[in-house]
């Protein structure tokens, strides 16, 4: 059995997780060393693998790479990240990195060389559709292809052998230097499949159990995940079913998707899917599910269904965050365990239980799925190996629901999710499931149970003189600034233009007139003092409106 079957992944977007500035100031700061403080948290959750979204030097958000061999200076340096990886491994936690190989940023060395030397640059063939008979949207004396129309993301030419060798050498370096265990392949759905075939050879030669999965929103998963290319893909079909089957009170949607993927005639039975309830690109579960009480049922499904479960940082506490039209900032906020905003500790404890249960039950790790019984608001499915059978019962209604199942055995079903309560079986078992809740029932002779009483976690921390962490430079105290005409960004991410000033006819209070830069370009008015005020969010002081030009 591959290690991925006995894995719970914790997904971190490092720049947001650490509260790093959006624009890279290239000042070395060991922000990512905060990960050491999270190791007991990971262990309590049963997390044994961290997926880091981009960690390499970039201009802004991590996906606009500048240097594939240098840790982003907002997070630390290569030595500090190596120590982080070593410490995670010593604690039984594997490391997966985000491989952004479809495109680079405009500050990438080869692109800068073309800007300087034009057609004389040796790198003109490194990028897609370079043309010197027209300008780029940024005013370069040449044009090029930007990924999905974003010209700050310059699309690489993956047919070029020099580009391939450069990228493959970078991956070898990551394995040699940081001992990484896997890769997430960004934008995999628009990349050359042959690239993945060759990358597989590079990684498997270094580490035979290296695990790779590709980001793909739709289409045929078998095209990218098979014995010759990637091991898995992002399971967006199930992601959608997890929340919408609860929003619409319709478990048939979830059941149909899982049957289509993993049932007797499933299309993807040979793919161990990367399953998730949210990530850095989509609205968080707590902000998209209509009844927050049902988040527990979502995570029960996530941990019990075929595939590896992944939790996006902060969502274990019900952290909220909505995807905005022109900003993902709300999805990628800082996480501080000592300053949580309205934490749902009951959800956290539920997820911690699920982590221990998943590690304890082989049927959940690599069992075969079967839909046992289903109605709109309640269902039962089973996971089975030769040695074990587990029944998962879910009720999303506001009333108790009786769920019956034909177990084909005489014995006991032990609900390991709810105090190891036992239910007798004589071929048929009917159980009343409380409102808005779930059960994980293990078929056994009455002796099986899972002990949750031991909450102690042995943690190994790096042996360092003090710490590689450097104190963050003390930021100057924010004071209100004069408001002038121009562009501003609201603290929630939307952008506006200050077009004029006025006075209230009754109070003579000074007012700011400003216009939305996107959408319907609505015109707004707000008191000058409110427009310029300093606010506090998640324990951090910031301007209500920040000047951006």
Q: Which CATH number covers residue 127?
A: 3.90.400.10
Q: Where does a domain end: 362, 387, 413?
A: 362
Domain assignment present for residue 477? The answer is no
Domain assignment present for residue 506? The answer is yes
Domain assignment present for residue 345? The answer is yes
Are 84 and 230 within one domain?
A: yes
Could you tell me which residues are beta bridge partners of residue 543? 534
Are 223 and 308 within one domain?
A: yes
Are 227 and 355 within one domain?
A: yes
Angle among Cα 432, 435, 438 to the nearest 5 degrees reads 70
Asked if the model's pLDDT at residue 299 lies above 70, the reply is yes
Q: Where does a domain end: 301, 333, 362?
A: 362
Which CATH number fits the domain that encloses residue 378? 2.60.40.1180
Residues in the chain: 549
Are 209 and 299 within one domain?
A: yes
Q: What pTM, to 2 d.p., does this model score?
A: 0.84
Domain assignment present for residue 473? The answer is no
**Pairing status of strand 94-99 against strand 182-185:** parallel
Are 309 and 372 within one domain?
A: no
Sheet with 523-527, edge to edge strand ranges: 523-527, 510-516, 495-503, 486-490, 545-547
The band of 52, judged by pLDDT with boundaries at 50, 70 and 90, is: very high
Are 346 and 385 within one domain?
A: no
Domain assignment present for residue 36? The answer is yes
From the list 51, 105, 19, the residue with the least C-alpha distance to 334 is 19
Instruction: Report how many domains make up the chain.
Output: 4
What range defines the domain where residue 509 resides? 486-547
Are 355 and 312 within one domain?
A: yes
Which CATH number fits the domain that encloses residue 522? 2.30.30.320
What proportion of the chain, given as a percentage, has pLDDT over 90?
A: 83
The band of 539, judged by pLDDT with boundaries at 50, 70 and 90, is: low
Are 344 and 248 within one domain?
A: yes
Domain assignment present for residue 470? The answer is no
The pLDDT tens digits for 466-502 are 445 455 455 677 888 999 998 888 876 677 889 999 9
Are 190 and 79 within one domain?
A: yes
Are 251 and 130 within one domain?
A: no
Rg (CA), the chain: 26
pLDDT in the model for residue 470: 54
Q: Which of 1-5, 10-14, 487-491, 496-500 is least confident?
A: 487-491
Averaged pLDDT, 287-298: 98
Domain assignment present for residue 28? The answer is yes
Q: Where does a domain end: 315, 337, 362?
A: 362
Are 145 and 284 within one domain?
A: no
Domain assignment present for residue 452? The answer is no
Are 90 and 112 within one domain?
A: no
**CB neighbour list of residue 8: distance below 8 Å, 6 or more residues apart:** 45, 46, 47, 48, 49, 303, 308, 309, 310, 311, 355, 358, 359
């Amino acid at each position: 059995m591959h290690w991925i079957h006995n894995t719970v992944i914790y997904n971190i977007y490092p720049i947001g997780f650490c509260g790093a500035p959006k624009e890279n100031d290239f000042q070395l700061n060991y922000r990512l060393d905060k990960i050491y403080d999270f190791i007991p948290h990971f262990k309590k959750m049963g997390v044994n693998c961290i997926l880091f979204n981009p960690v390499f030097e970039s201009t802004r958000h991590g996906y606009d790479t500048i240097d594939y061999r240098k840790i982003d200076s907002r997070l630390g340096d290569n030595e500090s990240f190596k120590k982080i990886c070593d410490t995670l491994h010593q604690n039984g936690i594997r490391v997966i990195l985000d491989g952004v190989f479809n495109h680079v940023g405009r500050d990438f060395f080869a692109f800068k060389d073309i800007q300087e030397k034009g057609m004389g640059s040796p790198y003109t063939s490194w990028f897609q559709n370079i043309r010197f008979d027209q300008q780029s949207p940024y005013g370069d004396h040449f044009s090029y292809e930007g990924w999905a129309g974003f010209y700050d993301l310059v699309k690489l030419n993956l047919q070029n052998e020099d580009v391939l060798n450069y990228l493959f050498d970078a991956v070898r370096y990551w394995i040699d230097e940081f001992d990484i265990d896997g890769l997430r392949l960004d934008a995999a759905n628009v990349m050359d499949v042959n690239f993945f075939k060759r990358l597989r050879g590079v990684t498997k030669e270094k580490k035979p159990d290296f695990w790779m999965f590709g980001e793909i929103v739709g289409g045929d998963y078998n095209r990218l995940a098979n014995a010759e290319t990637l091991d898995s893909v992002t399971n967006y079909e199930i992601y959608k079913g997890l929340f919408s089957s609860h929003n619409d009170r319709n478990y048939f949607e979830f059941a149909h998707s899982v049957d289509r993927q993993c049932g007797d005639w499933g299309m993807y039975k040979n793919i161990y899917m990367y399953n998730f309830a949210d990530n850095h690109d989509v609205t968080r579960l707590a902000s998209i599910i209509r009844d927050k009480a049902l988040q527990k049922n979502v995570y029960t499904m996530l941990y019990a269904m075929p595939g590896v479960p992944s939790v996006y940082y902060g969502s274990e506490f019900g952290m909220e965050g909505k995807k905005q039209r022109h900003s993902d900032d709300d999805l990628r906020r800082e996480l501080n365990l000592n300053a949580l905003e309205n934490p749902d500790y009951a959800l956290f404890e539920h997820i911690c239980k699920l982590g221990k249960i998943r590690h304890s039950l082989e049927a959940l790790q690599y069992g075969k799925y079967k839909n046992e019984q289903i109605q709109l608001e309640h269902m039962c499915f089973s996971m089975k190996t030769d040695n074990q059978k587990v029944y998962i019962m879910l009720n999303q209604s506001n009333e108790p629901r009786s769920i019956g199942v034909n177990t084909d055995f005489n014995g006991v079903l032990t609900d390991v999710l709810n105090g190891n309560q036992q239910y007798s079986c004589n071929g048929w078992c009917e159980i009343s499931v409380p409102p808005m809740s779930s059960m994980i029932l293990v078929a056994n002779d009455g002796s099986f149970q899972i002990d949750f009483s031991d909450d102690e976690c042995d943690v190994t921390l790096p042996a360092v003189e003090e710490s590689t962490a450097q104190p963050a430079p003390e930021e100057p105290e924010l004071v209100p600034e004069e408001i002038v005409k121009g562009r501003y960004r609201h603290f929630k991410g939307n952008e506006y233009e200050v077009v004029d000033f006025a006075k209230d006819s009754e109070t003579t209070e000074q007012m700011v007139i400003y216009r939305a830069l996107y959408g319907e370009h609505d015109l707004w008015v707000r008191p000058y003092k409110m427009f310029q005020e300093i606010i506090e969010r998640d324990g951090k002081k910031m301007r209500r409106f920040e000047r951006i030009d």
